Copies of this chain bind each other. A is one copy, B any other.
């Protein structure tokens, strides 16, 4: 009954890129090194996007060069295009992650390209990376709904996944970018994708925008998904959905699946210690329900008067 899950920690990239402060390079490296000790399958370290577009990740090369790699952890980086891939190669990522949206307006707003242009760009990168033996995962944003276009037809997601798999993608991440997913929708799309691209590793990327993060994770798990993105402390978010909270918090994901008896590889105690240091990294209070309450079996002392009142 125990299943082995793979947790991909995305906070160094997907979390920090949303923070208003510029975390110093050495602090990023120390943060990622602390994450490396926790037992993740993957850590998304940085992004090789234009420093003009995302200034806080302009130190991608220095961060990739500075981290201490731990055996068993795959260190990945986001790459927007061929030029980004060429920059990334020297940093020896174990995998690169490409991104496009399943909905047209979000793709245009987020990537300044039509979906057709993005697809061509991604296919170009996948083909070039194949020559370098560099695995390419693709994250499909707005797979469960778009803050501009509304509902997204599952066929759009399935169609893109199929085209990208045919081109040579090593995996697909289905992303609920602005927290519009609900459990039965998640289960249905996960089942459809497993049928459409059999054997291709699928990851689910959830946000907790409307409180359903873990409910959707449970639905994906029940539908057979074994790979989950998470961001420590629930960092991240989406600039196009104001008021929205961030990614599903990794510690709550790990805590839930551990309670259910599954093996995430991640040591919760070590992880909660890193959450405790997170406010220092980003310069603002960051927490999660779990970090505040502690693990479920945390024991509290009964009130002092109890012993006196009940003296048997």
Chain A residues in contact with chain B, CB under 8 A? 105, 108-109, 112, 114, 145, 147-148, 150-151, 179-185, 208-215, 217-219, 240-245, 249, 252, 255-256, 259-261, 288-290, 292-303, 306, 309-310
Contacts and interface: CB of A to CB of B under 8 A. Distances in A.
Given A259-B185, A289-B245, A109 B211 contact: no
Given A211-B288, A293-B209, A302 B109 contact: yes
B215 A255 contact: no
Contacts of A145: 296-297
Contacts of A242: 300
Contact of A300 (B147, B295, B309): B147
Given A210-B295, A218-B219, 9 more contacts: A105-B306, A112-B309, A145-B296, A208-B289, A210-B293, A211-B289, A211-B290, A212-B214, A212-B252
B179 A296 contact: yes
Given A209-B293, A211-B208, A212-B214, A241 B300 contact: yes
A114 to B, nearest CB: 7
Contact of A303 (B109, B181, B215): B109
21 contacts: A109-B302, A112-B309, A114-B310, A147-B298, A148-B301, A150-B299, A179-B293, A182-B296, A183-B218, A184-B261, A210-B252, A210-B293, A211-B255, A211-B288, A212-B214, A212-B252, A215-B217, A215-B256, A243-B294, A244-B292, A245-B292
A312 B219 CA distance: 40
A242 B211 CA distance: 21
A211 B214 contact: yes
A67 B290 CA distance: 38
Contacts of A151: 297
A264 to B, nearest CB: 14
Contacts of A218: 183, 215, 218-219
A285 to B, nearest CB: 14
A202 to B, nearest CB: 20
A6 to B, nearest CB: 19
Nearest to A144: B296
Greatest chain B CB density within 10 A among A148, A180, A218, A296 is at A296
B148 A300 contact: yes
Contacts of A252: 210-212
A234 to B, nearest CB: 9
Nearest to A299: B150
Contact of A243 (B183, B249, B292, B299): B292
A208 B244 CA distance: 18
B293 A245 contact: yes
